[in-house]
Every structure is written in structure tokens, then in C-alpha cells.
Amino acid sequence: MYLKDCYSLLLKHRKPSIPFVLPTRHLEPPPSSSIPDPHVVQALRREPDVTRALQYFQHVVTSTAFKHTPVTYHIMIEKLGRSNVEIDSIHYLLQQMKIEGVPCSEDLFICVLNSYKRAGLGERALKLFYRIKEFGCKPTVKIYNHLLDALVGEAENRFQAIGAVYENMKGEGLEPNVFTYNILLKALCKNGKVDSACKLLEEMSKRGCVPDKVSYTTLVAGMCSDGRVDEAREVVKRFGVESVVSVCNALVCGLCKEGRIGEVFGLVSEMVEKGVDPDVVTYSSVISWLSDVGEVELSLAVLGQMVRRGCRANVHTFSSLMKGHFFGGRVGEAVGLWRFMVLEGVRPNVVAYNTLLYGLCCNGNVDEAVVVCDRMEKDWFCRPNVTTYSTLVHGFAKAGDLQGASEMWNRMVNCGVRPNVVVYTSMVDVLCKNSMFDQAYRLIDNMVADGCSPTVVTFNTFIKGLCRGGRVQWALRVVDQMQSYGCFPDIRSYNELLDGLFSANGFREACELITDLEERKVELNSVTYNTFMYGFSSHGMQESVFQVLGRMLVTGVKPDAITVNIVIYAYSKLGKVRTAIQLLDRITAGKEFCSDIIAHTSLLWGICNWLGIEEAVVYLNKMINRGISPNIVTWNVLVRGFFNKLGHIGPIRILDDILGNG
């Protein structure tokens, strides 16, 4: 991609892991001196940088002074797995172990499975399991459990594979234990098969495998996620597990999800009365939900109650509180919570860092967010992940700062973090904002080459950029090409096209598009009709606004506040001011919509032009009495109305009336 000089690194791609094969012993001369095994083990364990550890791992063997053992392989594979960066290198180390004849223990094989699980690579874990005997390892119940857990934890649905693996396990004569059943319960609940999970819980007991607190917690959480909170409470009573904190916490989460806050506090009180101490998970769940719904003050009150009961807040508690404060625009207090958390000795994790970054970026403090990212990159225990960088790239993109977004892209790639669809989409956005449409289009192609499929959001971002840049015909072609990328346009795609067509005076094409969508039974929404009406209104075609409004009402799409604003403006432009006043009064009285200053300002403009400045002042008083404060545009409308009527009434008296009532 060609970019300005300062952006030349924009499309630097992640360097793939370099396959390596360690030299076999029979090809090397005997070493003159050997390195003690404890020395290598200690050096590998102490090195926090996985890249440097891998370099050292390769160096000691190529020097012919050391032969790696099961212990050193285990340490290196575990480091690679925890980094989530050099996952491919694990495969090469396993192959080298096979070549060298180094036995693969049960613990080492489980370590590899867990590495794939953390990376969300359940399919690779399954393929590796089928080759287990090649590495001199035999399947055990423990290995099967970790494989099943890796499949359950994968983002894609592997439910059929889980069933097949479980049957294979029984076929080999291995008896499932409580961990096996708990993983199966988790799989069933995750796939919405809660009734089957209930049956499995009963089957456990019949087979002599006593369910533990994890079993009950998994089932109750699954029922709550399925919207069956009341049934879950009955199950808790039936099995007599009301005193299990984790089960109660699952119920708390379920009640919070349904917004039954009174019952949440009631359940917490019941726990205390029965001698079950609410723990940090209990309080954090409540605080998280309260923060999500904007009840910041109440979440702080819960924090106070938590501290009074001697329960120490953890990083999740503080992350939730910061999130709530950021969403409420209380940036200073959110940053203060971060500082308080650190002073309390609570170590931030990547989620806490990302919450801080997201809040700063959303409130326009991108430079401060970059400073935080700098700190993360120097922290070996909490390195930035793809969410960290995608948040920063999005922050720069939102501000239209291509240079900042480009530099952050390069930092991400240099740190070995692979861009995801969010990062790519943000880069498409910022390129479009800088009118670099060819580069944005090629970036979408690069996504596919990099194994990252563009989504409808990616294309909608590109379509919006093209339409805002006056490239509507190109946007129309993009909609036709989306299918070749495995994407299909949604209603937002068409809404962006409509807006672009009206901006380019493409009335005929816009009408044809609407007709085509209606014929294809595409469900239009309020945004579609509002865009349609606004397009006509902004070009002086007010009568067409009412025709579109009629179609909107006939199809059952409910008008919103924006619809009202457009209609009031259309009535005012046509001189039907009395009708506009009646409409707005009816809406305000019915409280169906919260009429805003835009509708009232449009109406005041109409009153000034068609009824006179005196009536405008009367309506201004009425508006203020409703609690709607005039803004600068409102005052400008009135002042213009006053100057247009200079011949009818004294200017000083009118100005005094306006300002005196404002």
C-alpha cells in the first residue's frame, strides 16, 4: 500500500513464527564441555521474555553442549503456550521431541492442550490428540478431560465433537469422573441444552459420582443464562445447596441480568441471615450490573457495604466501577478509582488496563491512553493484547488521526500481536476519513490474505466513508461485491447508501433502492425512513416527507424523536405552523417521545416566519416552562425573526421580552 512517508509502516504485517528444527545428536560431534541441567532449567524459568527464552533454548542445543530433557521441553512449551504469540512453535518442539526420542509425559501433553485452549484452538487440540501415541503418550481420563475442556472453551460450537470424544473415552474403557461430568454439564449449558444438563446431573448420582459445588453452580448458571431464574431457585432448594456461595452467586448474576435488583439485595440479605458470607464475586457481580445500567452512586454504596463486611475488593470490582464512571462521563473519578486500586495493592490485569484505555479513548483522552499502553508494554506480567491495541487504534480512528492509528498498528505488529477484524475495521475507517479510499479497499483484501475475514461492519464502515466522500457509485458496487467475501448487506448498508444518494442528488436511484428493498421484503427500520424523509426535506421537497411518513406508518414502523423533528420542520417550511404546534403539544402531553430543542427551534422558526414574533415569544415562554432550555440556534432564530419584523414592533421591547424570559 502506498501511503505518505510518515505512514509508510502502516501495513507492516506480523512476522510469522519461524519453523525451526534442532540438530539431532548423531549428527553432532561430542561436546568438549557440557552445561549442567539445573543451570538451563533455572535460566529458562527466570527469563520473562518468551522470545529471548526461545533463543536461549535453541542456542544451548546448537552449541552441542547440552541435550534437552523432558523438563526443559516442558518449561519452554509452557512459556510458549502462555504467551499466545508463538503457539506454532509448540508444534515444532513436539516434533523435535519425537525425533530426539524424548518421552512426552501426561503432564506435558496436558500442558500443550491447555496452550491450545488459551489460544482458542480447540480443533488443533483435537487433531493433536488423535496423534497422541506418536509421542509415546497414552490417553488417560485426565487427558480426555483437558481435551474436552479445550473444545468447550473454543469460540466455535464443537458440541458434536465433544460428544464423539466422550463416546470414544467410554469406548476405551475409561470411567468418567466428576471433572468429566462437570465439563459435559458446561458444554450442555453453553449450547442451551439445560434440560439435558439436569438429566446428566441425576445420572451422575446414579453412577456413584457425587456432584460437587462446580456441578450445581454450572447447572444453575446455565438455567439463569437461559432465562429460567425462578426454576434455578427451585433447583437450588431441591438439592439443598442454598449455603454454597458459588451457587448463590450464579443466582445473583441471573437476577441482575433480568434487572430484578430488589430480589438481588433480598438474596444477599438471605445469604447473610443463613450464615453464608457473600464473597468478592457476589459484590462484584452486583457492582458490575449497577455500573452497566448507570447506577454509579448505588454501585459505590455496595462497595461501601462490601468493605464494611470485611470483603476486600479485587481487580474485577474496580474494573466494573471504572467502567460505570467512564460511561457516565466521570473521567476524573474513574482515573481516581484506578489510582486508589493501585494504592490498595490490587495489581491491575489486562482487563483493568483495557477498561482504563477504553474509557480514556471514548472521552477523547487518547494521548493519556497511549501513556498507559507504554506502561503496559514495559510490564512483563501484563502485556497488551489485541483488545488493548484495537481500543487505541479505534480511538485514533474516531478522531481521524491517521498518523496515530498507523503508529499504533505498527507497535501492535512489532509486539507480535496479530490484528483482528476490529483493528482492520478501525483502519478502514480512518483511511476513509482521510479520503484514502484505494488504500482502504486494498486493506480489506489484505485482511483476507491474512486470514481475517471482513464482516458486514467492515463493509458498512467502507460504504459510509465512500458515501461521505461523494463516491456513491463505488459504494453501490461494494454492496454488490460483499457476497464474494462471504458477507451480505444489512439494513445499515442500505441506510448509508440512501444517505449518500440523497447527498449526491440521486433522488431517482434512492427511490428505486427503497422500492427494490420493499419488493425483496427487506425489513426497513426507522433510520431508513428518517434518512428518506430527511433527504427530501433537505432538498425542499416537503410534500414528499409526508408521503414517506405515510408509508412508514402503514408498514408498522414506529416513528422516533428524529422523525418528529423532520416532520415539524416540514410543516413549518410549508407554513402549516398551527398543525405543527398541535402535533408537538400532543406528543409532549402523551410523553410518547421526549421532544428536544431541535423540534422546538424548527417550530419557533415557523412561528416567526408565518405567525409573527409576538406569538414566537409566547411559545418561547411555553417552551421554557416545559423545562426545555433554548440554545444558541434558538436565540439566533428569534433574533432573525425580530429583525424581519422591525416595522411592526419596537426592537428594544422585543429584545427585553426575549432576554427577560430566557
Output the pLDDT for position 643: 81
Region 355-374 average pLDDT: 94
Of residues 369 and 205, more confidence is placed in: 369
Confidence of residue 307 (pLDDT cuts 50, 70, 90): very high
The pLDDT tens digits of the residues spanning 274-290 come to 999 999 999 999 999 99
Q: What is the pLDDT of residue 587?
A: 81
pLDDT band, residue 64 (cuts 50/70/90): low
Task: Name, in order, each residue with C-beta under 8 angstroms of 323's C-beta and a sequence gap of 6 or more.
Answer: 288, 291, 292, 355, 358, 359
Return the higher-pLDDT residue of 581 and 23.
Answer: 581
pLDDT of residue 206: 86
Read off the DSSP letter of residue 505: T
Q: What is the pLDDT, as a whole number, of residue 156?
A: 63
196 burial via Cβ count (<10 Å: 0-12, 13-18, 19+): middle
Flag whether pLDDT at 656 surpasses 70: no
Average pLDDT over residues 362-370: 93
Which sign, positive or negative, has the C-alpha torsion 372, 378, 384, 390? positive
Residue 423 included in any domain: yes
The residue with greater pLDDT, 240 or 3, is 240
User: Does residue 468 belong to any structural domain of this protein?
Assistant: no
Mean pLDDT calculated for residue range 290-308:
94
φ/ψ of residue 75, rounded to 5? -60, -45
**What's the one-letter identity of residue 128?**
L
Model pLDDT for residues 90-140, shown as the tens digit of each residue? 888 888 888 888 889 999 999 999 988 888 888 889 999 999 988 888 999
User: Packing angle between helix 213-225 and helix 194-206, nearest 10 degrees?
Assistant: 160
Q: Is residue 376 part of a domain?
A: yes
Tell me, what's the pLDDT at 20? 39
When comparing pLDDT for 588 and 555, which is higher?
555
How confident is the model at residue 84, as a pLDDT?
65
Query: What is the 3-class SS of 421-466, one letter each residue?
Result: HHHHHHHHHHHHHCCCHHHHHHHHHHHHHCCCCCCHHHHHHHHHHH
For the ranges 24-33, 437-446, 582-591, the maximum mean pLDDT occurs at: 437-446
Which residue shows C-alpha cell 469422573? 177
What average pLDDT does the segment 504-516 reach? 92
pLDDT of residue 23: 39
Residue 659 has pLDDT above 80, yes or no: no
Integer CA distances (angstroms), 295 to 97, 249, 291, 479, 587, in order: 56, 20, 6, 41, 29
In a domain, 365, yes or no: yes
Per-residue pLDDT, 627: 85
Is residue 321 in some structural domain? no
Give percent of the chain with pLDDT exceeding 90. Answer: 63
Q: Is residue 378 part of a domain?
A: yes
Residue matched to cell numbers 497511549:
370
R_g of the chain, CA atoms, integer Å: 32
Q: Which residues constitute the domain of residue 374?
A: 360-454
For residue 40, pLDDT beyond 50: yes
Judge contact between 49 and 82, C-beta under 8 A.
no
pLDDT of residue 33: 54
Percentage helix, strand, coil for the chain under 3-state DSSP, each rounded to 5: 70, 0, 30
Whether pLDDT at 4 is above 80:
no
Domain count, the chain: 1
Contact 211, 181 (CB under 8 A): yes
Q: Which residue has the higher pLDDT, 557 or 15?
A: 557
Mean pLDDT over residues 311-324, rounded?
96
For the whole model, what pTM was predicted? 0.77
- The mean pLDDT of the chain is 87
Confidence of residue 531 (pLDDT cuts 50, 70, 90): very high
Residue 262 has pLDDT above 70, yes or no: yes
Given a contact cutoff of 8 angstroms between Cβ atoms, the answer to whether 80 and 47 are in contact is no
Rounded to an integer, what distance in angstroms lies between the CA atom of residue 558 and that of residue 563?
Answer: 9
Residue 228 lies in a domain: no
Amino acid 626: pLDDT: 84
193-248 pLDDT, tens digit per residue, is 999 999 998 888 888 899 999 999 999 999 999 999 999 999 999 889 989 999 99
Q: What is the pLDDT of residue 177?
A: 94
What is the reported pLDDT for 14? Answer: 43
- Residue 103 is predicted with a pLDDT of 87
In a domain? residue 8: no
Q: Is the pLDDT of residue 29 over 50?
A: no
Q: In this structure, what are the phi and psi dihedrals at residue 2, rounded to the nearest 5 degrees?
A: -90, 130
- pLDDT band for position 441 (50/70/90)? very high
The per-residue pLDDT for 50 is 82
